[in-house]
Structure 1
Amino acid sequence: MNYNTKIRYDFVKNRNKFFTFSIALTVAGILSLLLFSLNFGVDFKAGTSMDISIGKSVTQQQAKEVLSNLGYDDITPTVGGTGNERISIRFDEVLDAQQSSTVMNAMKENFGEDTSAEVNVVSPELAQELGIKTIWAILIASIGIMVYVMIRFEWRFALAANISILYDSFVVVAVFSIFRLQVDLPFIAAVLTTLGYSINDKIVIFDRIRENLRFAKIKNEEQLSELVNASIWQTMARNLYTVLTVVIVAGCILLLGSESIRLFSLALIVGLISGAYSTVCIASPLWLLLKRFGKEKPKTAEVKPAP
């Protein structure tokens, strides 16, 4: 069949390579979660965060010395801002008003009276509630996407899409677990944003597959594989340009943005790259497998014994 497109690489033929790589990454992520869990920020565990504005350049070592003098030797502050004038401190315990005041007075003594701070306290109950609501948010979003795709297309498309977007979300979680990056509310926003972009890519290619199916006379699996490959390459440029546009913006935020949103942009970049990969290498070949396995085998005619 001629689909008026050049197939530069056979993604369907090499699907087992992609499936093997994806399964290996998933297993590595599961092992990391079992052994090390996630590096939860204050949003998901009880504690106090202080974002302190100094008004002048400061080094991480200077800020750490102030905390060490107060007895917080195990806490490493983060210094950021355009001129390294902001200090972010995360305490694993809930500080009362007197303890917070003590930290602020020490900062003012060392860095001047222009020092100001924003203090956020998360209680154990609130941290647990946030964790539960986060799980529900991802589950509801995934179920909603699956129902939509099932109504818009068919159950095979819906199942392939949902497996792929859950894989994209898990890749982000696995990367943060393996590299011990902090998980907070911006991280959850990045994961949910990844779901949106990922399903958008998959809808585009699934719509092209469905459109090509309408005008193609498929007689065997080889022709169906050719159709899927052609659909992938027909939508390749559109999907890549969409993802690349957002990756460039997220990359600029990662390099030039403030410390508080850098992990958000990093999680978004990982999710976008994974989404582009899973659309081409997982979702489409997976739909092909479901379509192949879903075909009914022709019934063999019964042979009646001669009288």
Structure 2
Amino acid sequence: MASSTSSLLFKLTAFTLCFWVLFGTTSGQLSANFYAKTCPNFRSVITRAVNSAVSSEARMGASLLRLHFHDCFVNGCDGSVLLDDNSTFTGEKTAGPNSGSIRGFNVIDTIKTQLESQCPGVVSCADILAAAARDAVVALSGPSWGAVFGRRDSTTASLSAANSNLPGPGSSLSGLISSFSNKGFTANEMIALSGSHSIGQARCTVFRNRLYNDNNINASFAATLQPNCPTSGGDNNLSPLDLASPTTFDNKYYNNLISQSGLLHSDQELFNGGSADAQVRTYASNQATFFRDFGNAMVKMGNLSPLTGSSGQVRTNCRKVN
């Protein structure tokens, strides 16, 4: 009996090892090696395109990261944010949090065209967004993380969901905690993901009120920004979300908050005498901890309600349904 049990355990162990060798790490129905046989070069195609885009314009790194976030927070990571309006639905691009703000669609189009020429109908737009987000952060000196693939694309989009699910720049701390909690994130994970504002820029129209009406803002910081964002006019003038190191993904964003130099009202809410202060101090003093937590939270974000198996489709053009 003992010999039989030992033999069974050995076989189970061998099977488990074989499974991981063949399929890599998995998360639900997603896998790190999902395209190993069907499109083995998909990662290198995406990485080259992202590196080229970020090299030409550092801001594009933040734009690609933001596309993935704005996709996943609206009905899951399904590529819906990429869909143009059509006769059956109004897409998400004109929603309040997206209009005049999200960008990088041309980079995704370029990647999709290149992948379609190598592996027609194989790599989903949702997976391109996930891979491009990671490569964009790495291109700006940030951390990598164990991205997994196998998502499929939605055949519809939701303007109303984009308007209601995405937290805005005027959000309070409680509002941020609630928005992320609704998607299954803890408050600490929300604080880590907010570190994405280490890169990128924002339009004057979304931070003007903070410059002139908030009382928890560094006076010198406000004075530096006010000429580029007057009380009226200049709505589309841009300022870096992180003045200290605007094109490097690092932990200076959190140091900015401690000095009351967060660009957005929602940024500064993370350090305003509330429950998030301690976590902000931790990340400000320990970049490795921030990088670890950010990467883990990004893996979790990439697992928000993906379409897998026979659900949805693999769009051949990310802007429209097949």
Same fold (TM over 0.5): no
TM-score by length of 1: 0.25
Higher helix share: 1
Mark the structure with the bigger radius of gyration: 1
TM-score by length of 2: 0.24
